[in-house]
Amino acid sequence: MIVRALITFAGLCLFWQGLVSVFQMPPFILPGPGAVFETLVSSPALFLKHATITAIEIVLALLIGLAAGFATGVLIWQSARAERWIWPLLLASQAIPVFAIAPLLVIWLGYGLASKVTMAVLIVFFPVTVAVVEGLRRIGPYWPEQAKLMGAKPWPFFWLVQLPSSLGTIGVGARIAAATAPIGAIVGEWVGASGGLGYLMLHANARMQIPTVFAALFCLLVFTLCLYGLVNFTTRKLLFWTEER
Amino acid sequence: MAIDHRHSITLTVTASGSGYPADLFAPSVLTITGGKTTVLVGASGSGKSTVLRMLAGLEPVPGTFTLEGLPGAFKRAYMTQDVRLLPWLTVERNAGIGNRLRGEPEDREGVRDTLDKLNLTRDARKYPSQISGGMAQRTALARTLLERADLNLLDEPFAALDAISRRNMQDLVKQHFDGKTVVMVTHDPLEAVRLGDAIYVLSQPEGSGPAEILPFNGAGPSPSERAEQLFETLQGS
């Protein structure tokens, strides 16, 4: 898999360099991969500093989004009344693009970590909640019937049967969350921040330092892929009994 | 309170039934004697499983159905052909899941003994994906036995097994459910004769429509002859 990824990456870089060479692109429009790499290695401390800020925002948002999405999903699954109250709010929250409320969040929560984490949580929360609800509802009649005959108590049944049965679907939600959480963090940094890869991109763009923009994007890409890989790996480990991985 | 030979369960279907599941059956009486194995046989779609599910309390029993002679509180265990072992639990954990689901301490000794009786000790730590279909059925049988239920309901539990595994499972059922109250559904006349102390046939005289639950009183000298008689009864039903 790593070999395939490296081959794909090398192919994309070649195509990219080809575009730059054939169309004689100036570096302030489209720098070649070599120029981006040079920028990255010439000031690693700068990229590390900003990448760390963004990484903390994304990881925090992912953890909070997973926990909040899980709790809300369980609540919706458990209570028809909760479902009637929460679903419309959830759907309404998805109708408003997070980009539209980003400036408000910065005003309310400030230029620090909180506004970026909140923005990313808003993106992560919905797919996780939907996955939890769908997963918990997928159990079918067999085990609830057995539980009834066995005189099972609700919580042991939830932990021993219901939750493991739904882990596959919840895992899908977690993977979507890992792939989309960076959007919230970066948008938040664009709107107002004092650090982070989004902030770095915005400032470099304003100064026509396009290789820096690409280098920051590359850092974000690597981090997102690593995060996705970690979530995917954890999900697979939790679902050790499934053949389809 | 255990159901033993002093008790019997009578499922009475009256003629006034309408709506599911009452309209599946013609007026009939099914008597289940405590401590014995009662077998229900019949064609596909005749309502055998519905009778079992009504006895399990998993299907609504309309007013036209009456269950009589039941002790106040009794425990039921229900085993089906599709055993659905939990793939994230080992064989021993699957067998003893009843206690854990009730929030009770695990009956490790009981699980060990039961797995030993069913020749599963060596595979106790394996996961369902690592065992054969026959072993999965034995694990489900262990789960059912460990429930120590008053009424054991077995819905075509061996239908998916090959002939040898099926025969072995029949022997295990005969051995380990001896003296217990069992109601079993099967398609197989020989299985019915081998295991049943009493046999009922779900008969649909018109080929479809309401089924009548009729006792089978075969009196052949050997199981194979009684099975042949039962087969003929089924063909005519």
pLDDT value at B25 more than 80: no
- Tell me the mean pLDDT in the region A212-241: 94
**Contact indicator for A209, A43 with CB cutoff of 8 Å:** no
Specify the range with the lowest mean pLDDT, choosing from A97-101, A214-218, B2-6.
B2-6
The Cα–Cα gap between A223 and B21 comes to: 59
Minimum-distance CB partner of B100 among A143, A146, A160: A160
pLDDT score recorded for residue B167:
85
pLDDT score recorded for residue A223:
95
Cβ neighbours of A87 (radius 10 Å): 14
Contacts of A242 in chain B (CB under 8 A): 87
pLDDT value at B195 more than 60: yes
Cβ neighbours of A5 (radius 10 Å): 10
Comparing A164 with B133, which gets the higher pLDDT? A164
B206 touches chain A (CB under 8 A): no
Q: B75-99: per-residue pLDDT in tens?
A: 889 998 888 999 999 999 999 999 9
pLDDT score recorded for residue A244:
47
Q: Do A150 and B102 touch (CB under 8 A)?
A: yes
pLDDT score recorded for residue B47:
84
A208 touches chain B (CB under 8 A): no
Nearest Cα to Cα of residue B57 among B42, B83, B78, B37: B78
**Contact indicator for B168, B131 with CB cutoff of 8 Å:** no
Q: A10-56: per-residue pLDDT in tens?
A: 999 999 999 999 998 888 889 999 999 999 999 999 999 999 999 99
First-to-last C-alpha distance (Å) of chain A: 14
Q: A158-212: per-residue pLDDT in tens?
A: 999 999 999 999 999 999 999 999 999 999 999 888 899 999 999 999 999 999 9
Q: Do B57 and A240 touch (CB under 8 A)?
A: no
B17 touches chain A (CB under 8 A): no
Q: What is the mean pLDDT of chain B?
A: 83
Comparing A95 with B90, which gets the higher pLDDT? B90
Cβ neighbours of B105 (radius 10 Å): 8
A-B contacts at Cβ under 8 angstroms: 57
pLDDT score recorded for residue B211:
79
- Tell me the mean pLDDT in the region B156-185: 84
The Cα–Cα gap between A232 and A192 comes to: 32
pLDDT score recorded for residue B2:
59
pLDDT score recorded for residue B68:
65
Q: B31-59: per-residue pLDDT in tens?
A: 888 888 999 998 887 888 888 888 888 88
Report DSSP letters for B144-208, one per residue.
HHHTT-SEEEEESTTTTS-HHHHHHHHHHHHHHTTTSEEEEEES-HHHHHHH-SEEEEEE-TTSS
pLDDT score recorded for residue A189:
92
Contacts of B49 in chain A (CB under 8 A): none
Dihedral angle sign, alpha carbons of residues B117, B121, B124, B126: negative
pLDDT value at B204 more than 80: no
pLDDT value at A245 more than 50: no
**Residue A37 token pair:** 């790499």
pLDDT score recorded for residue B65:
58
Q: Who contacts B202 (Cβ-Cβ below 8 Å, separation ≥6)?
A: B40, B41, B42, B43, B46, B47, B48, B51, B211, B212, B213, B214, B237
Q: A68-82: per-residue pLDDT in tens?
A: 999 999 999 999 999
B102 touches chain A (CB under 8 A): yes
pLDDT value at B16 more than 80: no
A241 touches chain B (CB under 8 A): yes
CA of A241 vs chain B CAs: smallest distance (Å)? 6
- Tell me the mean pLDDT in the region B26-33: 80
Q: What is the mean pLDDT of chain A?
A: 92
Which residue, among B52, B59, B101, B155, would best test binding to A if mutated, counting the most A CBs under 10 Å from its CB? B101
Q: Do A149 and B57 touch (CB under 8 A)?
A: yes
3-state helix, strand, coil in chain B (%, to 5): 35, 20, 40
Angstrom distances, CA of residue A220 to CA of A180, A181, A192, B45, B153: 12, 11, 18, 60, 59
